[in-house]
Structure formats: structure tokens, C-alpha cells
């Protein structure tokens, strides 16, 4: 867990995305069932995919290229 904390300190966007997920998931869980499973799951999955893409970019040698391709990869999921 310390390694993840260090990564989050180095790249604030990773920490901010993680904080957004921690804040947003409980809100989505309070939605009515119909919206929770249809809309809520899509939003949560999108946020986790964003976080995953940022973490992959963090360890990639070509960070800028990885980050530039992130919006397109998020649309296609």
C-alpha cells in the first residue's frame, strides 16, 4: 500500500481520481435500483478504467503517448 501512496504523491491526478471514486461510489449506491445498475455501474466502471489508465501511464516509458490515447480507450469500453 505504501507504493500506491508514493505513486499518488508523484501524480496528483491519480490521487484526485481515487478520491473522486471514494466520494462518488457511495452516492451512486443510494440511487434507485433501476438507475443504480444501469447508470451507476457505467459511471463506476468508467472511473475505475480512468484510474487504471492513469496507473498504466505512470509506469509506461511513453507516458504522454499513453495519456493521449486514454480518452479514446475510455470511449471504446
pLDDT at residue 47, as a whole number: 92
Rounded to two decimals, the pTM is: 0.74
Calpha distance 19→26 (Å, rounded): 12
pLDDT at residue 4, as a whole number: 57
Q: Provide the sign of the torsion angle of the four alpha carbons 24, 16, 1, 48, taken in this order.
A: positive
pLDDT at residue 29, as a whole number: 85
Q: What is the pLDDT of residues 18-56, one digit of tens each?
A: 999 999 999 988 888 888 888 888 889 999 999 999 999
Calpha distance 36→70 (Å, rounded): 25
Amino acid at each position: 500500500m505504501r507504493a500506491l501512496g508514493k505513486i499518488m504523491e508523484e501524480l496528483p491526478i491519480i490521487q484526485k481520481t481515487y478520491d473522486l471514486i471514494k466520494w462518488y461510489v457511495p452516492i451512486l449506491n443510494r440511487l434507485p435500483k433501476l438507475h443504480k445498475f444501469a447508470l451507476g455501474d457505467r459511471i463506476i466502471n468508467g472511473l475505475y478504467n480512468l484510474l487504471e489508465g492513469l496507473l498504466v501511464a505512470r509506469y509506461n516509458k511513453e507516458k504522454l503517448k499513453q495519456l493521449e490515447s486514454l480518452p479514446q480507450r475510455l470511449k471504446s469500453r
